[in-house]
Amino acid sequence: MTHEPTARPTVPAQLRLTSEGLVLREWTENDLPAMTELSDDPEIAHWTPLASPFDLVAARAYLATARQARVDGLRVQPAITTGGQLPLGEVLIIRRSANDRTASLGYSVGPAHHGRRLGSRALTVMTEYVHQVMDMPRVTLSIEAENGAGAAVARAAGYHRTDEPPILTVAKGRSLALRTWAHHRP
Protein backbone atom coordinates (compact mmCIF):
# COMPACT_ATOMS: atom_id res chain seq x y z
CA MET A 1 0.00 0.00 0.00
CA THR A 2 1.33 3.44 -0.88
CA HIS A 3 0.22 6.89 0.11
CA GLU A 4 0.70 10.21 -1.62
CA PRO A 5 3.23 12.25 0.41
CA THR A 6 0.58 14.85 1.21
CA ALA A 7 -2.18 12.36 1.97
CA ARG A 8 -3.38 12.10 5.55
CA PRO A 9 -2.18 8.76 6.98
CA THR A 10 -5.28 6.88 7.99
CA VAL A 11 -5.98 4.01 10.33
CA PRO A 12 -9.00 1.73 9.98
CA ALA A 13 -11.87 2.28 12.40
CA GLN A 14 -11.16 -1.08 14.05
CA LEU A 15 -7.44 -1.81 14.23
CA ARG A 16 -6.34 -5.36 15.01
CA LEU A 17 -2.70 -6.31 14.46
CA THR A 18 -1.36 -9.81 15.03
CA SER A 19 2.41 -10.34 15.09
CA GLU A 20 5.28 -11.13 17.47
CA GLY A 21 2.95 -13.41 19.47
CA LEU A 22 0.69 -10.43 20.25
CA VAL A 23 -2.73 -9.21 19.29
CA LEU A 24 -3.06 -5.41 19.41
CA ARG A 25 -6.77 -4.59 19.49
CA GLU A 26 -9.18 -1.83 20.36
CA TRP A 27 -10.13 -1.19 23.99
CA THR A 28 -13.78 -1.82 24.88
CA GLU A 29 -15.96 -0.81 27.82
CA ASN A 30 -15.63 -4.39 29.07
CA ASP A 31 -11.88 -3.74 29.46
CA LEU A 32 -12.31 -0.89 31.95
CA PRO A 33 -11.72 -3.05 35.07
CA ALA A 34 -8.55 -4.49 33.50
CA MET A 35 -7.47 -0.98 32.45
CA THR A 36 -7.71 0.20 36.07
CA GLU A 37 -5.77 -2.83 37.30
CA LEU A 38 -2.99 -2.20 34.75
CA SER A 39 -2.79 1.56 35.19
CA ASP A 40 -3.40 2.18 38.90
CA ASP A 41 0.23 1.64 39.83
CA PRO A 42 2.91 4.01 41.22
CA GLU A 43 5.40 3.07 38.49
CA ILE A 44 2.87 3.72 35.70
CA ALA A 45 1.91 6.99 37.41
CA HIS A 46 5.57 8.03 37.58
CA TRP A 47 6.57 7.34 33.96
CA THR A 48 3.31 8.20 32.15
CA PRO A 49 0.85 11.09 32.09
CA LEU A 50 -1.97 8.83 33.34
CA ALA A 51 -4.11 9.98 36.25
CA SER A 52 -3.31 8.65 39.68
CA PRO A 53 -5.22 7.09 41.27
CA PHE A 54 -6.55 5.42 38.12
CA ASP A 55 -10.02 4.16 39.03
CA LEU A 56 -13.09 3.33 36.91
CA VAL A 57 -13.97 7.01 36.58
CA ALA A 58 -10.46 7.75 35.30
CA ALA A 59 -10.61 4.73 32.98
CA ARG A 60 -13.92 5.86 31.45
CA ALA A 61 -12.55 9.37 30.92
CA TYR A 62 -9.33 7.97 29.44
CA LEU A 63 -11.23 5.74 27.00
CA ALA A 64 -13.49 8.64 25.94
CA THR A 65 -10.45 10.89 25.40
CA ALA A 66 -8.67 8.13 23.46
CA ARG A 67 -11.67 7.64 21.20
CA GLN A 68 -11.96 11.36 20.50
CA ALA A 69 -8.22 11.61 19.77
CA ARG A 70 -8.67 8.71 17.35
CA VAL A 71 -11.54 10.51 15.56
CA ASP A 72 -9.38 13.65 15.40
CA GLY A 73 -6.54 11.66 13.80
CA LEU A 74 -4.16 12.35 16.70
CA ARG A 75 -3.81 8.99 18.45
CA VAL A 76 -4.33 5.28 18.09
CA GLN A 77 -4.22 3.39 21.41
CA PRO A 78 -4.75 -0.36 21.11
CA ALA A 79 -4.55 -2.75 24.04
CA ILE A 80 -1.65 -5.21 24.11
CA THR A 81 -2.89 -8.80 24.42
CA THR A 82 -1.44 -12.22 23.74
CA GLY A 83 -4.66 -13.87 22.59
CA GLY A 84 -6.99 -10.99 21.88
CA GLN A 85 -8.71 -11.16 25.25
CA LEU A 86 -7.14 -9.88 28.50
CA PRO A 87 -5.32 -6.53 28.10
CA LEU A 88 -1.75 -6.59 29.43
CA GLY A 89 -0.83 -3.04 28.47
CA GLU A 90 -1.22 -0.43 25.77
CA VAL A 91 0.78 0.90 22.82
CA LEU A 92 0.10 4.32 21.26
CA ILE A 93 0.68 6.15 18.00
CA ILE A 94 0.85 9.87 18.79
CA ARG A 95 0.71 12.67 16.20
CA ARG A 96 0.74 16.45 16.66
CA SER A 97 -1.93 16.99 14.00
CA ALA A 98 -4.11 14.84 11.78
CA ASN A 99 -1.90 15.65 8.78
CA ASP A 100 1.41 15.15 10.60
CA ARG A 101 3.78 13.01 8.53
CA THR A 102 5.67 11.92 11.65
CA ALA A 103 4.61 9.78 14.58
CA SER A 104 5.81 9.03 18.07
CA LEU A 105 4.98 5.85 19.91
CA GLY A 106 4.43 5.20 23.58
CA TYR A 107 3.54 2.16 25.62
CA SER A 108 2.81 0.90 29.10
CA VAL A 109 2.71 -2.64 30.42
CA GLY A 110 1.01 -3.65 33.63
CA PRO A 111 3.54 -4.45 36.38
CA ALA A 112 2.24 -8.02 36.73
CA HIS A 113 3.24 -8.61 33.11
CA HIS A 114 6.80 -7.26 33.13
CA GLY A 115 9.62 -9.55 31.98
CA ARG A 116 7.71 -10.95 28.99
CA ARG A 117 9.09 -8.49 26.40
CA LEU A 118 5.56 -7.18 25.81
CA GLY A 119 6.73 -3.57 25.45
CA SER A 120 9.46 -4.28 22.89
CA ARG A 121 7.25 -6.68 20.93
CA ALA A 122 4.34 -4.20 20.86
CA LEU A 123 6.69 -1.41 19.75
CA THR A 124 8.07 -3.67 17.00
CA VAL A 125 4.57 -4.43 15.69
CA MET A 126 3.42 -0.81 15.83
CA THR A 127 6.67 0.54 14.37
CA GLU A 128 6.30 -1.75 11.36
CA TYR A 129 2.67 -0.64 10.98
CA VAL A 130 3.63 3.04 11.03
CA HIS A 131 6.45 2.51 8.52
CA GLN A 132 4.59 0.21 6.13
CA VAL A 133 0.91 1.14 6.32
CA MET A 134 1.05 4.79 7.37
CA ASP A 135 4.12 5.25 5.13
CA MET A 136 6.18 7.19 7.66
CA PRO A 137 9.95 6.79 7.29
CA ARG A 138 10.83 7.83 10.87
CA VAL A 139 9.16 6.86 14.14
CA THR A 140 10.24 8.23 17.51
CA LEU A 141 9.95 7.55 21.23
CA SER A 142 10.41 10.16 23.99
CA ILE A 143 12.05 8.62 27.06
CA GLU A 144 13.20 10.25 30.29
CA ALA A 145 16.96 9.97 30.74
CA GLU A 146 16.42 8.24 34.11
CA ASN A 147 14.14 5.58 32.63
CA GLY A 148 16.66 2.79 32.10
CA ALA A 149 13.97 0.17 31.56
CA GLY A 150 12.34 2.31 28.86
CA ALA A 151 15.70 2.75 27.12
CA ALA A 152 16.28 -1.02 27.20
CA VAL A 153 12.86 -1.64 25.65
CA ALA A 154 13.61 0.95 22.94
CA ARG A 155 16.92 -0.74 22.08
CA ALA A 156 15.26 -4.17 22.01
CA ALA A 157 12.72 -2.81 19.50
CA GLY A 158 15.50 -1.50 17.23
CA TYR A 159 15.45 2.18 18.24
CA HIS A 160 18.57 4.29 18.77
CA ARG A 161 18.98 7.42 20.87
CA THR A 162 19.43 10.51 18.73
CA ASP A 163 21.69 13.51 19.29
CA GLU A 164 18.67 15.81 19.35
CA PRO A 165 18.51 18.09 22.39
CA PRO A 166 16.23 16.89 25.19
CA ILE A 167 12.61 17.98 25.11
CA LEU A 168 12.08 19.93 28.33
CA THR A 169 8.58 19.83 29.76
CA VAL A 170 6.67 19.68 33.03
CA ALA A 171 4.17 16.91 33.79
CA LYS A 172 2.38 16.32 37.09
CA GLY A 173 4.58 18.98 38.67
CA ARG A 174 7.82 17.23 37.64
CA SER A 175 10.39 18.76 35.30
CA LEU A 176 11.22 16.26 32.57
CA ALA A 177 14.05 16.01 30.05
CA LEU A 178 12.83 13.62 27.37
CA ARG A 179 15.40 12.06 25.05
CA THR A 180 14.39 11.25 21.49
CA TRP A 181 14.88 7.70 20.25
CA ALA A 182 14.33 6.98 16.55
CA HIS A 183 13.63 4.08 14.23
CA HIS A 184 14.09 4.57 10.49
CA ARG A 185 12.30 2.53 7.86
CA PRO A 186 14.68 -0.14 6.56
Q: What is the pLDDT of residues 11-39, one digit of tens each?
A: 777 899 999 999 999 999 999 999 999 99
Q: Which residues does residue 25 pair with via DSSP β-bridges, in sequence order?
A: 16, 79
Tens of pLDDT, residue by residue over 40-58, are 888 888 888 888 889 999 9
Q: What is the mean pLDDT of residues 149-169?
A: 97
Q: What is the pLDDT of residue 186?
A: 87
Whether 4 shows a pLDDT value over 60: the answer reads no
Q: What is the pLDDT of residue 41?
A: 86
Better pLDDT: 131 or 171 = 131
Delineate the domains of the chain, giving CATH numbers in brackets.
16-184 (3.40.630.30)
Q: What is the pLDDT of residue 6?
A: 43
Alpha helices in the chain (DSSP H): 32-39, 42-47, 56-71, 118-132, 148-156
Tens of pLDDT, residue by residue over 65-90, are 999 999 998 999 999 999 889 999 99
pTM of the model: 0.90
Nearest to 154 by CA among 185, 125, 183: 183
Beta strands in the chain (DSSP E): 16-19, 22-25, 75-76, 79-81, 89-94, 103-109, 138-144, 160-161, 167-171, 174-184
